[in-house]
Amino acid sequence: GAGVSQTPSNKVTEKGKYVELRCDPISGHTALYWYRQSLGQGPEFLIYFQGTGAADDSGLPNDRFFAVRPEGSVSTLKIQRTERGDSAVYLCASSPTGSETQYFGPGTRLLVL
């Protein structure tokens, strides 16, 4: 079946602009995660959704970052007033109910100029 998909695959923006990154989880998966991966490092947790609600958003670095999952499926990560330090690969993962196994998408490579 289809895996986790993320769009766009690449995004180049200018400092100060607003960006939205989209994640389509595996169909039926109730849990959805966002991570950020800088070059040469392991992914860093941002936020975890169980259904429509954010169960844990402790990894969001500041209030410029926000994520939604209004219907419990597709999720959008929103970054306001982007900064050069936001440049990274943003990864999305999903899990079925009751499972800790996370399946990752290919990521969105964000470059802030």
Partner 1 sequence: GENVEQHPSTLSVQEGDSAVIKCTYSDSASNYFPWYKQELGKGPQLIIDIRSNVGEKKDQRIAVTLNKTAKHFSLHITETQPEDSAVYFCAASRDSNYQLIWGAGTKLIIKP
Q: Which of these segments, 14-22, 60-68, 77-85, 96-104, binds partner 1 (CB under 8 A)?
A: 96-104
**66 contacts partner 1 (rule: CB under 8 A):** no
Distance of CA 56 to the CA centre of its chain: 13
**104 contacts partner 1 (rule: CB under 8 A):** yes
Nearest-angstrom CA–CA distance, 31 and 49: 6
29 phi, psi to nearest 5 deg:
-75, 125
For residue 84, the SS3 value is: helix
**101 contacts partner 1 (rule: CB under 8 A):** yes
**Does the N-terminal peptide bond of residue 25 adopt cis geometry, omega within 30 degrees of 0?**
no
Please identify which residue in 1, 42, 53, 70 interacts with partner 1, judged by CB under 8 A: 42
Q: Which of these segments, 22-30, 32-40, 65-73, 79-87, binds partner 1 (CB under 8 A)?
A: 32-40
Question: Which C-beta is closer to partner 1: that of 6 or that of 82?
Answer: 6
Name the token pair of 21: 């990154």
Nearest-angstrom CA–CA distance, 74 and 25: 6
The residues that touch partner 1, with contacts defined as CB under 8 A, are 4, 31, 33, 35, 40-45, 48, 55-56, 58-59, 91, 95, 100-107
